[in-house]
Amino acid sequence: MRRRLRIVPFILFLAACGGGGDDDPAAPPGSTGGNTGGNMGGGGSTSSSVNVADNSFTPAATTVARGTTVTWTWTGRNPHDVTFDDGPASATQAAGSYTRNFAAAGTFRYHCTVHGTAMAGAITVQ
């Protein structure tokens, strides 16, 4: 009996490892905004804005009226996110924006999961 050896080639799949430079300001793919639920049409909606700087939210505390849409705008160079204690969160990104509409009164605390409680803020809705 004759045995044939078969050489099975090993195929190395290189997982996509393109994500390198943390300091690269290239905008990440993927849509931001517009996915936070329906806009409330009635009642003269207002808006407010917060800057997402490197390792701080500016201003860290904001008071708004019910129905206000708050927009966070990334102004720093490093990746950050806006993650609320009650659930909603942005992507971790180095550029772009995130919006959330606050229909109910209360205090909504949030932080950046990259930097923890050292980078935190709160929206007070009246």
Closest to Cu ion by CB, 95 vs 114, is 114
| Alpha-carbon distances, residue 3 vs 6, 47, 52, 54, 69 (angstroms) | 9, 77, 67, 65, 73
Stretch that binds Cu ion, among 7-15, 27-35, 38-46, 107-115 (CB under 5 A): 107-115
Minimal CA–CA distance to 50: which of 34, 74, 27, 85? Answer: 74
User: Binding residue for Cu ion (CB under 5 A) from 50, 82, 94, 112?
Assistant: 112
Rounded to whole angstroms, the Cα distance separating 117 from 11 reads: 44
Nearer to Cu ion, 67 or 121 (CB): 121
Say whether residue 109 binds Cu ion (CB under 5 A).
Answer: no
Q: What are the residues binding Cu ion (CB under 5 A)?
A: 80, 112, 114-115, 119
